[in-house]
């Protein structure tokens, strides 16, 4: 079976961040802030705000922010880094050992390299950021050609087809050719 990995020209040493992250982070702050403002206002109007209830609403708003804040994904030639709130995962895409797409509601790509690095990326991040995907794919292609990628080439092929399909669909929608 022929690999569907896209060949890209060497990209130098540029870094590609998740272009949607800032907006999603602002949305997380906005939702948490809105919950805090509304709950404090309703509590103050209804029964009178107490220190205990204010602390509870603040804690709930912080918890909502932590849940909604997405991980920040940054790719460079040969590596991908996923920054969580308290974690940082880096994987060398030019030394990938395994790639998998676990079944479940939360669709993600799990990659591990020959150095023991591991990272999980939500598929929506790769689908929304073609330049980021191209760096991941180029590194995976390099790993496959060098023989370090022991399992997961088929998962990457399926994801490549999905990215191509979604990108083509977006182009047709923007061009009003649908």
Task: Give the pLDDT confidence of 115-132 residue by residue, as tens digits.
Answer: 999 999 998 898 888 889
Return the pLDDT at 116.
93
pLDDT at 3 over 60: no
Q: Which token pair is 61?
A: 């708003």
Region 24-41 average pLDDT: 96
Region 1-15 average pLDDT: 48
In which band, very low, low, confident or very high, does the pLDDT at 47 lie, cut at 50, 70 and 90?
Answer: confident
For Cα atoms 163, 10, 171, give the angle at the middle one, nearest 5 degrees: 30
| Nearest alpha carbon to residue 108 among 75, 150, 73, 138 | 73
Give the length of the chain.
Answer: 178
Whole-model pTM: value is 0.77
Helix (H) or strand (E) holding 81: strand 79-83
Region 41-55 average pLDDT: 89
Return the pLDDT at 93.
93
Rounded CA separation 67/154 (Å): 32
Return the pLDDT at 1.
38
Mean of all residue pLDDT scores within the chain: 86
3-state SS record for 88-132? EEEECHHHEEEEECCCCCCCEEEEEECCCCEEEEEHHHHHHCHHH
Choice between 116 and 153, residue whose per-residue pLDDT is larger = 116
Return the pLDDT at 104.
67
Region 25-40 average pLDDT: 96
Per-residue b/e over 17-41, b at no fewer than 16 CB within 10 Å? bbeebeebeeebeeebeebbeebbe
In which band, very low, low, confident or very high, does the pLDDT at 5 lie, cut at 50, 70 and 90?
Answer: very low
Rounded CA separation 144/163 (Å): 19
pLDDT at 87 over 70: yes
């Amino acid at each position: 079976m022929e690999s569907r990995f896209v060949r890209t020209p060497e990209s130098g040493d540029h870094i590609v961040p998740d272009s949607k992250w800032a907006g999603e982070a602002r949305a997380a702050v906005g939702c948490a802030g809105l919950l805090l403002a509304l709950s404090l206002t309703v509590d103050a109007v209804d029964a009178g705000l107490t220190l205990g209830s204010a602390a509870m609403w603040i804690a709930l708003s912080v918890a909502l922010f932590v849940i909604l804040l997405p991980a920040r994904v940054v790719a460079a030639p040969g590596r991908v880094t996923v920054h969580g709130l308290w974690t940082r995962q880096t994987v060398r895409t030019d030394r990938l050992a395994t790639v998998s797409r676990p079944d479940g509601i939360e669709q993600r790509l799990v990659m591990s390299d020959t150095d023991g690095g591991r990272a999980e990326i939500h598929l929506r991040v790769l689908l929304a950021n073609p330049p980021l995907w191209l760096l991941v794919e180029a590194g995976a292609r390099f790993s496959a050609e060098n023989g370090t990628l022991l399992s997961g080439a088929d998962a990457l092929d399926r994801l490549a087809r999905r990215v191509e399909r979604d990108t083509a669909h977006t182009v047709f929608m923007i061009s009003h050719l649908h």
